[in-house]
Structure 1
Amino acid sequence: MTEAATAAPPAAAPAAAPALGGDTPGSLLVTFFGAHGRELGGWIAVGDLIRLMGTAGLEEQPVRSAVSRLKRRGFLLATPLGGVAGYALSESARQLLADGDRRIYAQRTPRLADGWVLALFSVPESERAKRHLLRSRLARLGYGTASPGVWLAPAHLYEETRHVLERLGLTGYTDLFRAEHLAFQATPEAVRRWWDLPALARCHEEFLDLHEPVLTRWNRRRNLPAEEAFADHLRALDSWRRLPYLDPGLPPELLPADWPGVRAARVFHDLDTRLGEPAAAYVREIVQGRY
């Protein structure tokens, strides 16, 4: 016996918004490994990691506790190198970070003419854990809910959706379709039912409140103190990397004219351009001679 999946309400995807400014140790560590870990060959000494996280304002014990949690999740592996205690990225972590790169750093202008990708799925009651996993992954990819059992997203998310479903072994429960909206409700009005746009706007506004003043401050400075660049870049990236998953990148004509996501994206990419290389140089300086 199968049961059509009951979709989560449109507000389900933006529910993570309060975490945008959280800067939790675990989140900052994942952000650090995404931004710098692979450049280091996927391994870093314990002492170097603690020092770098200290620059970002974290105490040693919370860092060690967060590392332990990431080890239990299979994200990090305790791997001594040359007699030095350290941590390496697991293969699944590398894949996860590579998937994130495509979404986090993308700069695209979606077009309404590109249409939509629809996801329809049915999972047996005996495999309800997979049903929950499927729903949660679609929500995390930025899908909205048109009706129970019908999830949709802008067409540019098709390849990523297919890749995620294949990686998680969920393709046997799902059908994906390309579609266009024909009738009967005006698409902008329908989009407001499918996504909680006010909640998404608040996410972007929170990011702007936290990081637009940082960009203004850096734009007024000639010198780039490496430690400050590292800390500000890490926190901006940590806040931003959630937003492209909460907001699927809807065509501009479907959004309010003053949509804050446009400005938030510009602030992030300007900060990344301004601080990314100085931050990476600081990391290289700390770990110099170990790799």
Structure 2
Amino acid sequence: MADGAHPRVSRRREVSHASARSVLMTVLGEYVLPRRAPVWTSTVVEVLALFGVEEKSARQALSRTAAEGWLRSERVGRRVRWCLTAPGHRLLAEGAHRVSEFGREQGDWDGRWLMLFVTVPEAKRDLRHRVRTRLTWSGFGSPQPGVWVSPDTRRQAEAARIIAELGVESPVMSFVAEFGSIGEVDDLVARAWDLSDLTLRYQDFIDEFSGVRPTTGQNALHAQTLLVHEWRRFPFLDPDLPSVLLPENWTGAKAAELFHSKHHEWRAASQRHWDDVLA
């Protein structure tokens, strides 16, 4: 892509997810969280306008985020400013850590698998959905109904916490084992995770940001925010498998290198522009 201030929007990506609230959460995590200081409504409105979010939608996003317990408002004269609540700070800090560390090089894999057997009755569809969502977010794949696997055995404690928090009553069992002599590991990976779709998403990310070269502070803030906004979906989509389980010349590794490089390159200018807007 030729030099430009703003990333293009690929038609292959579903961009409707970039709602006002979703962009707001990215902005809060990237600019408000590090400063530990309140932010004026006018600042949020001005920044979200860079992404085509109208003032009414920006204000609604703030109100909804506050209603969910992540923000609280303070009135100063006729103006309103917003602070992160303790749960909001914790949520964004965990998300920021996950985004910044995702895609970094892993150590050698010991070849062991963590297996979970989780059965939720068909009648409890909402619970089934929440179990699937939470385990997928934690990197587990499901090669067949009721069976979840991960090559990271350290996730056993996280899985136990998810099961407890969701109140799954059916017997849940876990095993740590190596793959046997029957079958192929590649077949297990293919059944548990859709890496072909993930490859396309990573390639779209590369195409979208590789040629972007911000020329102003505002451009840098716009590009940096979109970069993080798009990248923060990948920890949910990508199980972060050991390299030995991934296709050769894995596109995800190239995308991760691009993300970390651009994030570092654009950080100073985008943060300076945020301070300019605050001022």
Q: TM-score, normalised by structure 1?
A: 0.78
**Any idea what the Cα deviations from partners look like across 1:37-59, whole Å, max 9, x if unmatched?**
21232531101111222244433
Residues paired across the two proteins, number: 265
- In the other structure, the counterpart of 2:147 is 150
- In the other structure, the counterpart of 2:106 is 109
- In the other structure, the counterpart of 2:244 is 253
Bigger fraction of residues in helix: 1
**Which secondary structure does the structure 2 equivalent of 1:79 belong to?**
strand
RMSD: 2.9
| Residue 32 (structure 1) aligned with residue 27 (structure 2) | yes
**Any idea what the Cα deviations from partners look like across 1:70-102, whole Å, max 9, x if unmatched?**
233333333335763022223332222222233
- Structure 1 CA distance for aligned equivalents of residues 116 and 85 of structure 2: 30
- Consecutive unaligned residues in structure 1, runs of 5 or more: 1-16, 219-223
- Structure 1 CA distance for aligned equivalents of residues 56 and 169 of structure 2: 44
Per the TM alignment, residue 162 of structure 1 is displaced from its structure 2 partner at its CA by 4.4
**Contact (CA 8 Å) 1:76, 1:89: kept in 2 or not?**
yes
Residue pairs, 1:272-291, within 5 angstroms: 272-288=263-279
Residue pairs, 1:191-206, within 5 angstroms: 191-206=189-204
Q: Which residue of the other structure, out of 161, 165, 175, is the alignment partner of 2:162? A: 165
**Contact (CA 8 Å) 2:120, 2:128: kept in 1 or not?**
yes
* Aligned AA (1:37): V
**Any idea what the Cα deviations from partners look like across 1:154-201, whole Å, max 9, x if unmatched?**
306617834862783547764444333223222123211111111111
* Aligned AA (1:154): P
Q: Which moved more, 1:54-63 or 1:29-38?
A: 54-63
**Contact (CA 8 Å) 2:33, 2:92: kept in 1 or not?**
no
Residue pairs, 1:257-276, within 5 angstroms: 257-276=248-267
**Distance 1:166-1:211 versus aligned 2 partners, 3 A rule:** same
**Which secondary structure does the structure 2 equivalent of 1:250 belong to?**
coil
- In the other structure, the counterpart of 1:211 is 209
**Contact (CA 8 Å) 2:66, 2:73: kept in 1 or not?**
yes
- In the other structure, the counterpart of 1:119 is 116
- In the other structure, the counterpart of 1:70 is 65
* Aligned AA (2:53): L
- Structure 1 CA distance for aligned equivalents of residues 257 and 150 of structure 2: 22
- In the other structure, the counterpart of 2:5 is none
Q: Which residue of the other structure, out of 174, 182, 185, is the alignment partner of 1:184? A: 182
Q: TM-score, normalised by structure 2?
A: 0.81
* Aligned AA (2:81): G
**Any idea what the Cα deviations from partners look like across 1:4-60, whole Å, max 9, x if unmatched?**
xxxxxxxxxxxxx94468533221111111111212325311011112222444332
- Structure 2 CA distance for aligned equivalents of residues 163 and 104 of structure 1: 23
- Structure 2 CA distance for aligned equivalents of residues 125 and 62 of structure 1: 38
| Residue 95 (structure 1) aligned with residue 84 (structure 2) | no
Identity among equivalent pairs (%): 26
**Distance 1:65-1:43 versus aligned 2 partners, 3 A rule:** same
